[in-house]
Amino acid sequence: MNVDIGNALASVASPGVSRESLERLDEQVADAHERIERGMANAEHGYEALNLPERTDPDEIRAAVEPVADAEALVTVGIGGSALGAATITNALADESDTETVFLDNVDPEWVTQRLESLPLEETAINVVSRSGTTAETLANFLVVREAFESAGVDWTERTIVTTGESGPLRNLADRHDLPSLKVPDGVPGRFSALSAVGMVAAAVCGHDLEALLEGAAAERETLAGSLFECPAYAYGATTYALDARGAGINAVMPYAESLETQAEWFAQLWAESLGKDDLGQTPARALGVTDQHSQLQLYRAGPRDKLVSFVVPKERGDRSIPATDVEELAYLGDATLGELLEAEFEATEASLAAAGRPNVRVEIDRVDAYELGGLLYGMEAACVLAGELYGVNTFEQPAVEWAKKATRGLLGGGEFEEAEAVAEKTELR
Ligand code: PA5
């Protein structure tokens, strides 16, 4: 991936960061890089995620999904980091696969029922993913999916792949039914696990090129260097950090490709759950080019100066011509393609923000394919790890998320948790 920070500089944007401040910040980037490399070399918790391009074994994943490789549809049951990486990959590459993908993360009963009813169960594979194996939403949805298969007379044990930790209720269940299973690698938090079995089982069932995903990520890993001026991932992480410190507390991620819409969702989780600690962190917002030019752009160009817009832009894409018309006022469209229109809209948006002095960063990939996507996911993860070092937070923990998970289980009688007692006390006070 390439990163262009020109429109984030103080000479053109407010808030903006001066070249001199970035040069000073670069000393911290060099230290952070050393820390990151050490963490990777020692396979420390979290940093190990940046070793996934070398650690993940595509053959092992393909072997596990072999029994369902011809499935017409795939339902992935998981939430947060156990769903968004897989959804990002399969949604981005959907035009390369005939397999229909459904992701059950939410437990909204009407939505779950509709999604299940839309699936040809006899031809559907089940991909259950939970690192802890205890997440209430995932386990509940899995039980619901199992029951739907049983009611339709379909043997779910023949069609299920489990990805989970070494032990826990989901691991026990997989063992009891002798289900094909994969292990979430040690030291890899959920939101950093897209390039492990967690994100790649779904890609394998859809027949995507796992090697290309990992090769793209490995190429991005090669760009990690002790200076933000030499490393695109660190340029992004350091610039967003510096802009946050200067008042851009909101980072609106705006991919210019419908297929990357889920990537913005994935990014929002990565950024929020990793950096939102100790009263620090930048709030991610999700937008989609060109659609949100007709809504959020007004705020981004003329609202409070508390935002950065991060464009994610493929340089090449498939195209389609716009048919000519004899309506004179529309004749200009007939000389263009939809791709040219989209490109013109992106350039106009980027330039209009720059003209209004609103900071924006362009993250470019060559095209949306497995190789480039692997690089983008890896690059954004490395950017996030770097930003975490600069903020001085523990990027790889998520105590607030864990608090809510325990409270939920406790409230439903799934164990004794002080978090659940705190909720009960609070509701009694109302
Ligand atoms: O990034 C994280 O750690 C979280 O978003 C988890 O992935 C999410 O809570 C799901 O957890 P689990 O995989 O244990 O079911």
Residues 230, 120 contacting (CB under 8 angstroms): no
Residue 84 lies in a domain: yes
184 C-alpha vs ligand 1 centroid, how far in Å?
11
**Do 182 and 263 reside in the same domain of the chain?**
no
Residues 141, 77 contacting (CB under 8 angstroms): yes
pLDDT of residue 412: 86
Residue 430 lies in a domain: no
- Ligand 1 pocket test, pick from 84, 266, 401, 402 with the greatest ligand atom count within 8 Å of Cβ, gives 401
How far CA 278 is from CA of 332, 392, 397, in Å, comes to: 53, 9, 12
- Cα distance between residue 28 and residue 10, in whole Å: 20
Residue 153 lies in a domain: yes
Average pLDDT (246-266) is 98
pLDDT of residue 429: 63
Q: Which of 188, 208, 228 is the last residue of a domain?
A: 208
pLDDT of residue 138: 98
Structure tokens at 194: 């897209």
- Ligand 1 pocket test, pick from 45, 82, 130, 395 with the greatest ligand atom count within 8 Å of Cβ, gives 82
- Cα distance between residue 243 and residue 44, in whole Å: 29
Contacts of 258 (CB under 8 A, 6+ apart): 288
Say whether pLDDT at 300 is over 70.
Answer: yes
The radius of gyration of the chain's CA atoms, rounded to the nearest angstrom, is: 23
**Do 222 and 160 reside in the same domain of the chain?**
no
Question: 303: alpha, beta or left, given left = phi > 0 and alpha = psi -120 to 50?
Answer: beta
Residue 133 sits in a domain whose CATH number is: 3.40.50.10490
Strands of the 73-77 sheet, one edge to the other: 100-104, 73-77, 124-130, 160-164, 181-183
pLDDT of residue 423: 80
Residue 107 lies in a domain: yes
pLDDT band at 408 (very low <50, low <70, confident <90, very high): confident
Average pLDDT (340-365) is 98
How many folded domains does the chain comprise? 2
Average pLDDT (56-80) is 97
Residue 191 CA: nearest ligand 1 atom is 1
DSSP tag of 322: P
Average pLDDT (220-229) is 98
Cβ–ligand 1 distance for 273 under 6 Å, the answer yes
**Do 168 and 288 reside in the same domain of the chain?**
no
Given 261, 273, 381, 389, the catalytic residue? 273
Residue 401 lies in a domain: no
Q: Which of 193, 208, 223 is the last residue of a domain?
A: 208
- Cα distance between residue 1 and residue 146, in whole Å: 41
Residue 190 lies in a domain: yes
273 given a catalytic annotation: yes
pLDDT band at 113 (very low <50, low <70, confident <90, very high): very high
Pairing of strands 181-183, 160-164: parallel
Reported as type and span, the H/E element at residue 285 is strand 283-286
**Do 120 and 255 reside in the same domain of the chain?**
no
Average pLDDT (266-285) is 98
Q: What is the mean pLDDT of the chain?
A: 96
**Do 116 and 234 reside in the same domain of the chain?**
no
Q: Where does residue 12 rank: exposed (0-12), middle (13-18), buried (19+ CB within 10 A)?
A: middle
Residue nearest to ligand 1 atom 15, measured at CA: 130
**Do 371 and 266 reside in the same domain of the chain?**
yes
Cβ–ligand 1 distance for 216 under 6 Å, the answer no
pLDDT of residue 430: 67
- Cα distance between residue 386 and residue 228, in whole Å: 10
- Cα distance between residue 9 and residue 23, in whole Å: 12
Say whether pLDDT at 341 is over 80.
Answer: yes
pLDDT of residue 416: 84
Q: Which of 166, 187, 208 is the last residue of a domain?
A: 208
Beta bridge partners of 336: none
| Window from 155-164, 272-281, 400-409 with minimum mean pLDDT | 400-409
**Do 273 and 338 reside in the same domain of the chain?**
yes
Residue 410 lies in a domain: no
- Ligand 1 pocket test, pick from 79, 127, 128, 403 with the greatest ligand atom count within 8 Å of Cβ, gives 79
pLDDT of residue 335: 87
**Do 94 and 176 reside in the same domain of the chain?**
yes
Residue 115 lies in domain: 50-208
**Do 236 and 325 reside in the same domain of the chain?**
yes
Reply yes or no: is the peptide bond before residue 112 cis, omega within 30 of 0.
no
- Cα distance between residue 346 and residue 60, in whole Å: 41
Share of the chain above pLDDT 90, in %: 92
Contacts of 77 (CB under 8 A, 6+ apart): 104, 126, 127, 128, 129, 138, 141, 142, 145
For 375-405, the three-class secondary structure string (H helix, E strand, C coil) is HHHHHHHHHHHHHHHHHCCCCCCCHHHHHHH
Residue 202 lies in a domain: yes
Average pLDDT (330-359) is 96
**Do 129 and 67 reside in the same domain of the chain?**
yes
**Do 219 and 272 reside in the same domain of the chain?**
yes
334 C-alpha vs ligand 1 centroid, how far in Å?
48
**Do 28 and 62 reside in the same domain of the chain?**
no
Exposure b/e, 138-158, CB count within 10 A at least 16 = b = bbebbebbbebbeeeeeebee
Cβ–ligand 1 distance for 39 under 6 Å, the answer no
pLDDT of residue 415: 84
pLDDT tens per residue, range 329-339: 999 998 899 99
Write down the residue that tokens 């911290």 correspond to: 28
